Amino acid sequence: MAGARALLRHCPLLLPQDRHGTAYEGFVTAQGRDFHIRILLPVDFQLKNARIECSWRLKKILHGYRHILKQRLHSCPDLVSFMVELKTVLGIALKNTQDLHIPRPPEYYSCLVRDLEILGWNKVAYVDTGLTTVKLKAEDSCGRQHLITLKLNAKYPTEPPDCLVDFPVPFAVSWVPQNSLIDIYNQFLAALESLKEFWDALDEIDGKTWVLEPENPTRSATTRRIAIGNNVSVNIEVDPRHPNMLPECYFLGADHAVNPLRTKLNTNMHLWDPESSLLKNLRELLEIDFPSRAVLEKIDFAKDCGICYAYRLHGSAPDQVCDDPRCGQPFHQACLFEWLQGLPTSRQSFNVIFGECPYCNK
């Protein structure tokens, strides 16, 4: 009886549906809003085996908190305690998803629809059902397709939307209350053209060389690990604002293979020509021809780690190679570090560990 009174005090809109107290239905209230909910308890009243049914809106709000609620079901001693926990979690979830419950004035919708019509529906890639998220598509002068995602708040157009783009540099929107989606779209197009040379340079590298990492580069990715030979590669970091300047280069491979490349880079650095393409400059400075995609397959360079026998480990390719020219076996850094730590003959100096190769014992 005391439990029923406590439940009524905390959740006055949640009512029992049977005499045994195993079924409850009604509403749970948080942040001044009511959400429909139905709770079915087993005959032994064990909360961990309870079944909870709710409206699609409440399910959407609590989607990211399901594991927390599951823990609460297992730890709470009774239904009253759980409902108190549920209301607390729901209050936090509502604060973190304010856009779901901030009412939009009619002017918001009329203004947004008008802006979309002026911009042109052919430029719209996606609009959510609540008209709070809009994705616009654009094509740069080289025919590359791009998207910009706009997260609009209830004060649009007084306040600008949040803009999400796949750019290697920040995209800051210039905005005054008189602006519209057209102004954002034009700034988006201008930003695309400012990054044209950067994407041209990396597209040439992606198309004419074997890129080991990243496996599926995004438009915001500024690094490329390019295969040079068997277990030899160079990692370059390109400045998106100055893509035709000498990038940062880091060679990966056995010392006998990468030391000559470092020497050539340092010796020929003065020959870098900003008027030539990034790939052409790299070829001339390193005095090499990168393996061609037309002749060789990626599997010729994607040699598995000698410890875990996999090429990808948490998304990373092997980046450590045995220095012995007769071995040259590649390893993931994490695999090699763990292996060497387990050897009694290994020694460590700060964050560098020295030991024998798992393959050739050198």
For residue 98, the model assigns a pLDDT of: 57
Q: What is the pLDDT of residues 313-349, one digit of tens each?
A: 777 778 788 877 777 788 888 888 888 888 888 888 7
172 contacts 161 by C-beta, under 8 angstroms: no
CA 151 to each of CA 43, 105, 125, 165, 187: distance values in angstroms, whole numbers, following the listed order: 47, 16, 14, 12, 16
Instruction: Look over the chain and give the mean of its residue pLDDT values, rounded to a whole number.
Output: 86
Tokens for 229, please give them: 């030979």
What span, in angstroms and rounded, lies between the C-alpha atoms of 148 and 302?
34
Spatial CA neighbour of 124 closest among 105, 137, 109: 137
| Other beta carbons within 10 Å of 325 | 10
The DSSP bridge partners found for residue 336 are none
Give percent of the chain with pLDDT exceeding 70: 94
| Three-state DSSP class for residue 91 | helix
The CA distance from 173 to 165, in Å, is 12
35-48: pLDDT as tens digits: 899 989 888 888 88
Please name each of the domains of the chain with its CATH number: 1-100 (3.10.110), 106-194 (3.10.110.10), 209-297 (3.10.110.20), 303-361 (3.30.40.10)
Q: Is the pTM of this model over 0.75?
A: no
Mean pLDDT of the 270-276 span: 93
